[in-house]
């Protein structure tokens, strides 16, 4: 089929649309289909053979075509159809946002109340704040947890949060933040 498409020198959109209808369906046909859905193929539509369908290595052609997927949602759907973990899971974005907000709050509070008071507040407030403290200020987390235990006080457990459950999943990552220690 690729030989036919490359020999005919048809516009890329026509080639991708044609290849997306091939059976049996596989990762390559799914990619062509999602390129048509995403609108990348329409961008390519006026260009004749901007995509090198004569590529001898099918994996290279696949990677070159995948690059044209623009929307994160479309990329995620494509990966899910191909039974691969999505490169931009929505939970990852929400996790990143939550920890950025906690980091911004930490930075504001530490300047006003100091490291120990802010740490105690974060450790006792809720599970997400405690997880932030555990991940980004582990020695302070340990010291405050010890202090709370010595004073008979309870605090939420960071491992009981949705973010802790998410971060232990394969493919998830701890958000990268610029943390102020002051």
- Residues paired with residue 11 on neighbouring β-strands, in sequence order: 48
Higher pLDDT, 114 or 53: 114
125 burial level (CB within 10 Å; 0-12, 13-18, 19+): middle
Lowest mean pLDDT among 62-66, 130-134, 158-162: 62-66
Q: Which two tokens stand for residue 117?
A: 């008071």
Exposure pattern of 19-55 as b/e (b: 16+ CB <10 Å)? bbeeeeeeebbbbbbbbbebebbeebbeeebebebeb
> Which residues have CB under 8 Å from 118's CB, separation 6+?
106, 109, 110
pLDDT at 28 over 60: yes
Residue 117's pLDDT is what?
96
Residue 48's pLDDT is what?
47
Lowest mean pLDDT among 6-15, 28-37, 40-49, 113-122: 40-49
48 SS3 class: strand
Asked if residues 127 and 155 have their Cβ atoms less than 8 Å apart, the reply is no
> How confident is residue 53, by pLDDT bands cut at 50, 70 and 90?
low
Evaluate the CA torsion angle 156, 153, 102, 174 in order and state its sign.
Answer: negative
């Amino acid at each position: 089929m690729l030989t036919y498409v490359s020999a005919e020198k048809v516009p890329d959109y026509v080639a991708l649309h044609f290849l997306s209808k091939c059976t049996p369906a596989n990762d390559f046909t799914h990619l062509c289909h999602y390129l048509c859905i995403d609108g990348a193929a329409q961008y390519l539509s006026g260009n004749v053979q901007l995509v090198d369908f004569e590529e001898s290595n099918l994996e290279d052609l696949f990677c070159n075509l995948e690059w044209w997927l623009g929307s994160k949602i479309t990329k995620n759907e494509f990966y899910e159809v191909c039974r691969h973990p999505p490169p931009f899971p929505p939970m990852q974005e929400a996790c990143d946002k939550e920890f950025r907000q906690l980091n911004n709050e930490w930075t504001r509070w530490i300047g006003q109340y100091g490291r120990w008071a802010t740490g105690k507040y974060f450790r006792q407030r809720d599970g997400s704040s405690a997880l932030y403290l555990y991940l980004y200020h582990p020695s302070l987390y340990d010291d405050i947890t010890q202090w709370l235990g010595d004073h008979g006080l309870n605090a939420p457990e960071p491992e009981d949060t949705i973010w802790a459950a998410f971060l232990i999943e394969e493919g998830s990552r701890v958000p990268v933040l610029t943390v102020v220690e002051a």
